[in-house]
Structure 1
């Protein structure tokens, strides 16, 4: 049987005379290994950061392209600039009718709005919120007035006064209300 000390790991010659130099050499190898490991780790970290920044840079580039496109569209949609006309072409543009004196025309008399028309256009406030009366061609109140928000209709006279017992859900029967009011 072989002696356990005769194993392949123990056959290496041992230096017993210079133990200080082997320790220095081991420290150098360890330092170089550590330095190489740090350099590789640094390169891996740099590559990782560049990869992350590449995504951000591509995003910034796409945003920049989009902004340039919007800027181009804005200038394309802008109204055209006024161009200067040469003064020698100005007489050609002048209208002869402008130079002639026109007789002053009398303006058409303004028709005053009736109470119904003023309420319908919103010039005068109405007691009920979101209600606008309906007027006929003369500006009088239509016989039937309806408030759509409440689904109510009622009958009125020409001045807008409500006729008694004419309130109804939906369309009102203003023929009966007028007959009842006349009696």
Structure 2
């Protein structure tokens, strides 16, 4: 079992938790199946879109049951620990979403590189992997997708992806590069939330 596989399962877990927390924020306590479904789509949505674009079959969660086991466990954890997380973390949904962004941007890009796509396409596919599960989640719970929010969302992903590519050309160890680049995405996103950073607006 490789470290990349373990990190992929961790990323799947945190996105599943973010999906479940988003559903719970809409008072969907009466329908555990709906909560599980939203958690599932959040966790696998971006990666599935990436694999379909690349023609990479069979898709990971279809081939490997561990992904579904992790999703079910993570959604259950989100449901049973929701009150504790609200007390311990100021904005648990954003925190789990941000961790997922960091991990899935780099994991998605690395998976694209392994099938031989060009470096720029790999960056785009990594960002798609990170963003589209959240877009599906926010759409299903009738929220404005975070990608459309005024705070920095895509930009941290792009920064981390570029750092990963630079370090790859410099010969940095791939596992250390993953951790470093994912941490950059997470850190920039968290600071952007706290400091309310935005890019300049395009005026009409």
Alignment TM-score, normalising by the size of structure 2: 0.21
| Structure with more contact order per residue of length (Cα contacts < 8 Å, sep ≥ 6) | 2
Name whichever structure is richer in helix by fraction.
2
TM-score of the superposed pair, with normalisation by structure 1: 0.22
* Higher strand proportion (structure 1 or 2): 1
Which protein has the larger Cα radius of gyration, Structure 1 or Structure 2?
A: 1
